[in-house]
Amino acid sequence: MPFAKDHPLQMPEVCLHISRFVTPRNATLYARVCKAWSDSFTSVVWHTVDFDAQERFINVDPSTVKKHGYCIRNVKGISDVRNLMVLQHPSVCKLSALSIVMPAKASPAYCGDLLRQNAASITFLDISAVIQEGGLLSLAFPFDVVFLPPKFSQPRGSRF
């Protein structure tokens, strides 16, 4: 039975307030109730993407990330190149926290692109490398990715 138009749960302000108190698991269910609830609860579902703890993100489809990437703020547990590549979509541009364990065969360029795309918003960054047999994997990031604010970043291949 649909809600009446003047029902309090149809008011965006009420849904937004409620969304602050629900778990991501419940938010997933609430987002399926109706369009208004989907708009309110989708941000809760996609706020934190944890590839280790949340099974629904393990093989996430790129088109889904494209659709909801604007909601993603925290990313944890990236240890697979595929998941790193899926987050390269331009809609994922407001990350505040990023935690990556670089796979041994991953190119640091993938990580650099994600950092560039989110340079204005990242406040927490944790990048670890897989130890290869016989030594450490060396990760090299361009200076502009790590140290310069986005408005001063140099295009790839440029010199200071």
pLDDT per residue rounded down to tens, the chain (160 residues) = 455 566 666 666 776 677 678 877 788 888 887 777 777 788 888 889 998 888 888 888 899 899 989 999 999 988 788 888 889 899 999 999 988 887 666 666 777 888 888 888 888 888 877 666 555 454 545 444 555 455 544 455 544 3
Q: Same structural domain for residues 67 and 3?
A: no
**Rg of the chain taking only CA atoms, in angstroms:** 19
Tell me how far apart the alpha carbons of residues 124 and 8 are, in angstroms, rounded to a whole number: 38
Q: Same structural domain for residues 52 and 116?
A: yes
Q: Same structural domain for residues 77 and 32?
A: no
Q: What does pTM read for this prediction?
A: 0.69
List beta partners, residue 99: 126
Q: Same structural domain for residues 109 and 62?
A: yes
CB neighbours of 134 closer than 8 A, spacing ≥ 6? none
Tokens read off for 79 = 């240890």
Q: Same structural domain for residues 68 and 8?
A: no
Q: What is the pLDDT of residue 107?
A: 66
Tell me whether residue 58 is in a domain: yes
Tell me whether residue 42 is in a domain: yes
Q: Same structural domain for residues 66 and 129?
A: yes
Last residue of a domain, one of 9, 25, 46: 46
Tell me how far apart the alpha carbons of residues 82 and 105 are, in angstroms, rounded to a whole number: 12
Tell me how far apart the alpha carbons of residues 62 and 8 are, in angstroms, rounded to a whole number: 35
Q: What is the pLDDT of residue 91?
A: 92
Q: What is the pLDDT of residue 153?
A: 47
Tell me whether residue 61 is in a domain: yes
Q: What is the pLDDT of residue 73?
A: 93
Tell me whether residue 56 is in a domain: yes
Tell me how far apart the alpha carbons of residues 125 and 50 are, in angstroms, rounded to a whole number: 14
| Structure-token match 């364990």, residue found | 101
CB neighbours of 108 closer than 8 A, spacing ≥ 6? 102, 139, 140, 141
Dihedral, 71, 74, 78, 81 alpha carbons, nearest 10? 40
Residue 124 belongs to domain spanning: 47-138
Q: Same structural domain for residues 38 and 90?
A: no
Number of domains forming the structure of the chain: 2
Q: Same structural domain for residues 65 and 33?
A: no
Q: Same structural domain for residues 83 and 111?
A: yes
Q: Same structural domain for residues 40 and 52?
A: no
Q: Same structural domain for residues 100 and 127?
A: yes
